[in-house]
């Protein structure tokens, strides 16, 4: 089991670095298929995201694709929301969280399919700092409650509404995951909802994968990158629908 989980970590890390997600959008369904319960899967996912988002954001910063600036305000909001999410998950059922998960993946899929690919970062729009904080907090509460870092929601918003180039949106999304996942892990530790052993095995394995994913991201075009993201969202949606309605 431990070797398999480490291999899963490498794969999740690669997806995290390439798509700018924390990895929970893929890891949670995979853990469910492996027999883990929803809340246990969410806890492991949150812990893995701490590993992948910190290392991935460092690599993006070194490569010059991560610009801090307004991302800090969204991140601080995500930290507050991620911490508060621990109280939300203690009040609702795992089945309800699965439905919420499917809803947000569907939103992200539609948003990315209809978004225009932007190449020029100078044409990006901006928002007031207080609004960025509130957006981050809202995303943090909802996303960490379903075991994802929030990038799956933030990236379509940045690319589709604020006209961020895809690679800049991906880097900003992974940076957001740093704040939301650290806060989410702290909140779950308080409530005893983290499997530390399995979370550490997957998290350490994800470090190698993140390096490979970030390298690959820099070698594809923005248009191709967007198409890969759309395909990934569709695959995740199919896994969750199968798990909830067809798997015995």
- pLDDT tens, N- to C-terminus, the chain (248 residues): 788 999 999 999 998 888 887 777 778 888 888 888 888 888 898 889 899 989 988 988 888 877 777 678 888 888 888 778 777 767 777 777 778 778 877 877 787 777 666 555 555 666 788 888 888 888 888 777 776 667 777 877 777 667 777 777 788 888 888 887 888 788 778 777 788 889 899 999 999 999 999 899 888 888 888 888 888 888 878 877 877 777 65
Reported as a single tens digit per residue, the pLDDT across 100-129 is 778 877 877 787 777 666 555 555 666 788
CA angle, 169 then 172 then 177, to 5°: 125
pTM for this predicted structure:
0.74
Closest CA to 43 of 226, 160, 202, 165: 202
Cα 37 to chain centroid distance, Å, stands at 19
Longest dimension (CA), the chain: 51
- Cβ contact 116:220 at 8 Å: no
Q: List Cβ neighbours of 201 (8 Å cut-off, separation of 6 or more).
A: 2, 5, 6, 9
């Amino acid at each position: 089991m431990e070797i398999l989980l480490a291999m899963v970590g490498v794969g999740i890390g690669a997806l995290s670095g390439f798509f700018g997600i924390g990895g929970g959008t893929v890891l949670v369904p995979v853990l469910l298929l492996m027999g883990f319960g929803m809340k246990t899967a969410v806890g492991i996912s949150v812990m893995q995201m701490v590993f992948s988002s910190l290392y991935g954001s460092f690599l993006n910063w070194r490569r010059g694709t991560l610009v801090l600036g307004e991302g800090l305000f969204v991140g601080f909001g995500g930290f507050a929301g991620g911490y508060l999410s621990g109280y939300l998950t203690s009040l609702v059922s795992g089945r309800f969280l699965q439905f919420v998960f499917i809803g947000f993946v569907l939103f992200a899929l539609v948003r990315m399919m209809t978004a225009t690919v932007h190449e020029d970062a100078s044409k990006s729009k901006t928002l007031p700092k207080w609004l960025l904080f509130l957006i981050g907090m809202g995303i943090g509460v909802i996303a960490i409650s379903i075991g994802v870092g929030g990038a799956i929601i933030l990236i379509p918003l940045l690319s589709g509404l604020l006209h961020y180039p895809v690679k800049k949106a991906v880097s900003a999304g992974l940076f957001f995951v740093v704040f939301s996942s650290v806060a989410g892990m702290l909140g779950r530790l308080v409530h005893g909802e983290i499997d530390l052993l399995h979370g550490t095995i997957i998290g350490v394995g994800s470090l190698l994968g993140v390096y490979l994913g970030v390298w690959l991201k820099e070698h594809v075009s923005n248009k191709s990158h967007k198409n890969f993201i759309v395909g990934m969202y569709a695959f995740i949606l199919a896994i969750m629908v199968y798990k909830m309605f067809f798997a015995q």
